[in-house]
Structure 1
Amino acid sequence: MSTAVKMDEDAKSKLEELQAEIRLKTGKKVTQQEVLSTLIQSAVDSRAEFVDSFRDGTTALNETELEEFNQGTIASGVETSEDDIDDVLYG
């Protein structure tokens, strides 16, 4: 089953460029559908990175960055309740 996908002229142009480059570098003629299918599979294989590419601003910290952040934290030994925090923030 085939379904039409709408895309703007810039995306269409880039798809055609990829298609041409594949043919030029591999000698294999591929359809735009094959190119899109391969791109989708590539995105699925690296799903987390692909999803993160749509985030605004910075992405979540990696393990090393989390460890560095946590090294700078200390425990004061005093338990703080949500009510205590609300009192400080909102008076």
Structure 2
Amino acid sequence: MVASESVKVRRDVKRMIDILQAEATLATGCKVSQEALLAEVVRIAVERKEELFRRLGRVRRLKDEEADEVLEAISADWGVETSEGEIDRVLYGA
């Protein structure tokens, strides 16, 4: 199931997306949708996030409380009880 979301972009950015989509279609010989194009752009950005952050110029170290909030937000309870020893065995082969 695909979630449909809207993202507002400036006109110049929309124009760049349109041009990139056309170039990708010509380069691949296949019609490239904006959805597929943007998904791949995001994947590349995730792989090269340090460069992305450097370009954005907004990299700053999180305060401990902020880091805790981020970790809490992305954590998932899988409903499995795990001891420290089990974690060490899996991670370190101990």
TM range (shorter): 0.5 to 0.7
Following superposition, the deviation at residue 46 of structure 1 comes to 0.8
Once the 2 structures are TM-superposed, how far is the Cα of residue 54 of structure 1 from its aligned partner?
1.2
**What is the CA-CA distance between 1:30 and the residue it aligns to?**
1.2
1:7-22 to 2 correspondences below 5 Å: 7-22=9-24
Which one of 31, 38, 52 corresponds to residue 29 of structure 1?
31
TM-score (norm 2): 0.56
Letter aligned with residue 2 of structure 1: S
In percent, how many aligned pairs have the same letter?
Answer: 34
Letter in 2 for 1:9: R
Find the counterpart in structure 1 of residue 82 from structure 2: none
The alpha carbon displacement at 1:49 in A equals: 1.0
Q: What runs of 5+ residues in structure 1 fail to find an aligned partner?
A: 57-91
The alignment's C-alpha RMSD in Å is: 1.2
Equivalent residue letter for 2:18: E
Pair member with larger Rg: 1
The one-letter amino acid paired with 1:26 is T
Ranges of 4+ aligned residues in structure 1 off by more than 2 Å: none
In structure 2, stretches of 5+ residues that fail to align are 59-94
